[in-house]
Structure 1
Amino acid sequence: MERIVKPTSGILALLVAIVFLGLSVYSVVLAIGSDNPFMFLVAILFFLVSFFIFKGVLIVQPNHSRVLNFFGKYVGTIKDNGLFFVNPLYSATKMSLRSENLQGQTLKVNDKMGNPIEIAAVIVWKIGDTYKAAYEVERVYDYVRAQSEAAVRHLAVSFAYDDLEDDSGEITLRNGGEEVNHILEKELTERLSKAGVIVEEARISHLAYAPEIAGAMLQRQQAAAIVAARAKIVDGAVGMVEMALKKLSEDNIVELDDERKAAMVSNLMVVLCGEKAAQPVVNAGTLY
């Protein structure tokens, strides 16, 4: 578990280290002037003390941390920013707490229905638990990149690209929107929690059919759109014909037998459903 430590201020330690460094230089000058070998030993001793204190002085930048380790044992984590002094024998590993932006590469995978698609995601993450990030995984940045790619691949194979291939599916990659992003974010959180990583946001940044089937799928989408439009036109035309016949009957404008009604329905459907404007033909005779 992560343990937060509050080290002492490093200002006093820095001043002491500077003093001992000055004494070391002064001892060297005295040793040269008096030709006394003992003063050289004193100068070396002062220098070693100064170096030892300097080693314990560290600076923690804003939104950064230092993970302290003492001969293989985790001591704690410094998350405050400033100048501090710690045991010089501690090893202090720098670790950023800032939000990182990972733009995943475009992956070519098969969706739920086996169609090859291209998909990519952008992920915003940061380190929340420095102990897990430092000791539970080997390299946290490589771990995040690999697990993010695995999560995107799993998302792609779990849903169809669109409802043309899976009519029973409630969610597709193309129209899932925020729900698909939420599912991706949830899976990333589960995968990256082992490394102490907090997923702030995850979104699909690129989604398309693979080039080898993109043309065929585009034609299929266009055909589906045309069929849907035709169905809408026919439904509206039938309503208009029904309304016209009903209006003629209610207002007693003209009495139509079944054959004339059939002819009128045929003409109205041609006019209403045709792609081009109908050319009127004036009938100067009788229908029979």
Structure 2
Amino acid sequence: MSTTTSHTSEPDGPAGGPVRPGRIIQNEATTEIPVHLLFRDEPRPAPVALKPAVVGRRHGTGEQPRLRRPATPPRPAPPGPAPQVDADLAERPARVLPGAAGVLAGACGLAGCAATSWWAGVLPPLVLEALRLPAPAGSGLGPLQWAAFAGAGALGLFGFGGLARGRTGRAWVLDLFGRYRGTVRRSGLLWVNPLLLRRRVDVRLRHWRSEPVPAADASGVALRVVVQVVWRVRDTARAMLGVEDHETYLRECVEAALARVPVETPGGGRRAGDSAAEALTRLVASDAAPVGLEVFSVQPLRVEYAPEVAAAMHRRRIAALDAQHRASVLTSVVDSVEDTVTRLTMRGLVELDDYERKVLVKDLTVAFCAGRGEASP
């Protein structure tokens, strides 16, 4: 860019004398800027929001103008659809009656069968004499008697067949032709519709101990972990109709969690083990919640190296312990030598120059190391 300075003539001032021409900077785009404007002390203007500007093309290059657009933050991705939960698999109480209703219905059925037998005249004479009943007026089993027998028998079977005993800590999942009909958590003598299929569920707190499960530490070393899971069935409908075997499902959840959470190597710190247990509990609980299982804790009981790396890691650990022991012994020897030399010189027992001090330190170090070596075995 070439800059030229041009002198322009201006009219005379008020005194009639010549006026000094102003200096102007001029570029090739014919933009003139007075020089005195470059050094004016003016307050800084307030910031103004900038709009997209067009950058001019460069002369002689053939470059087209470019539109400079302001950067806009990326739009967040729309959230995924929420998981749909089948309302039929949510636990709800089943309709049951007290056991006295079933006993009463069964007794009425038996009484109806006995009355029909007397009416049909099929009761033995000994029974009539024992019960002091009059002689029947009927002459055998007819259509009416058979209908009465069927009704009374069905009532008795329906009454006694629906009796059930509920226990604390156990529940029944009722199913009719493959459709969920409710859950019974009550205790005592109950009457449940005998046409419903009953599936007993244990809702007490349970412990499950796994077999050695493959895992890895933060460095990728293969491990075998034995895990104990404390869990219980919370939603009986989902637990019975959602999965086939609870322990198999828990084992798969534990294996998936161990594949994502690094486990502390044998002999590691307690704090790292607690953090791994919390992470495992959180992952397994989130995986087991959709099928109605509530997981309270997942604790690694035993952590050991995999058979293929156990020998190498054992040698490595022994070498690390040996190096640590040697470092501690050397530190103790150096401290003892320093303390001995300091006491000898401070109390004035010996006067040593640099060479004698080095010899004394060497001899004391050898003596202390030999003494520690004999005491170690």
State the TM-score, normalized to the length of structure 2: 0.62
Q: CA–CA distance in 1 between the matches of 2:199 and 2:334?
A: 76
Aligned to 2:142: 37
Shift of the alpha carbon at 1:151? 2.7
The residue type equivalent to 1:151 in the other structure is A
What is the 5 A alignment of 1:14-163? 14-24=103-113, 27-28=116-117, 31=120, 33=122, 34-38=139-143, 39-69=145-175, 74-155=180-261, 158-159=262-263, 161=265
Aligned to 1:285: none
The structure with more helix, counted as a fraction of residues: 1
- Cα pair 2:176 2:197 within 8 Å, conserved: yes
Q: CA–CA distance in 2 between the matches of 1:121 and 1:266?
A: 54
The residue type equivalent to 2:293 in the other structure is V
The residue type equivalent to 1:178 in the other structure is D
- Cα pair 1:67 1:130 within 8 Å, conserved: yes
Shift of the alpha carbon at 1:197? 1.4
- Cα pair 1:64 1:98 within 8 Å, conserved: yes
Shift of the alpha carbon at 1:244? 1.9
Gaps of 5+ in 1: 164-171, 279-288
Q: CA–CA distance in 1 between the matches of 2:141 and 2:308?
A: 86
Does 2:328 match 1:232? yes
**Taking CA–CA contacts closer than 8 Å with sequence separation of 6 or more, which of the two structures ends up with the larger relative contact order?**
1
Local SS of the residue matching 1:59: strand
Higher Cα Rg, which structure: 2
- Cα pair 1:173 1:180 within 8 Å, conserved: no
Shift of the alpha carbon at 1:262? 0.7
Task: Write out per-residue CA displacement over residues 14-34 of structure 1, whole angstroms, 9 at most, x where no aligned residue.
Answer: 232133034325535654633
The residue type equivalent to 2:191 in the other structure is F
Task: Write out per-residue CA displacement over residues 82-113 of structure 1, whole angstroms, 9 at most, x where no aligned residue.
Answer: 12224455444321112233221112444443
- Cα pair 2:92 2:182 within 8 Å, conserved: yes
Identity %: 26
Q: CA–CA distance in 2 between the matches of 1:70 and 1:135?
A: 13
Aligned to 1:267: 363
Change (3 A) 1:37 1:94: same
Aligned to 1:13: 102
Q: 2:354 aligns with which of 258, 268, 275?
A: 258
- Cα pair 1:137 1:195 within 8 Å, conserved: yes
The residue type equivalent to 2:338 in the other structure is E
Local SS of the residue matching 2:349: coil
Task: Write out per-residue CA displacement over residues 113-165 of structure 1, whole angstroms, 9 at most, x where no aligned residue.
Answer: 3323222212221111223323444544432232233334443xx245269xx
The residue type equivalent to 2:301 in the other structure is S
Q: CA–CA distance in 1 between the matches of 2:361 and 2:269?
A: 43
- Cα pair 1:121 1:152 within 8 Å, conserved: no
Aligned to 1:282: none
Change (3 A) 1:237 1:195: same
Gaps of 5+ in 2: 1-89, 123-138
Q: CA–CA distance in 1 between the matches of 2:333 and 2:279?
A: 43
Local SS of the residue matching 2:223: strand
Does 2:326 match 1:221? no
Local SS of the residue matching 1:176: helix
Q: 1:183 aligns with which of 259, 279, 290?
A: 279
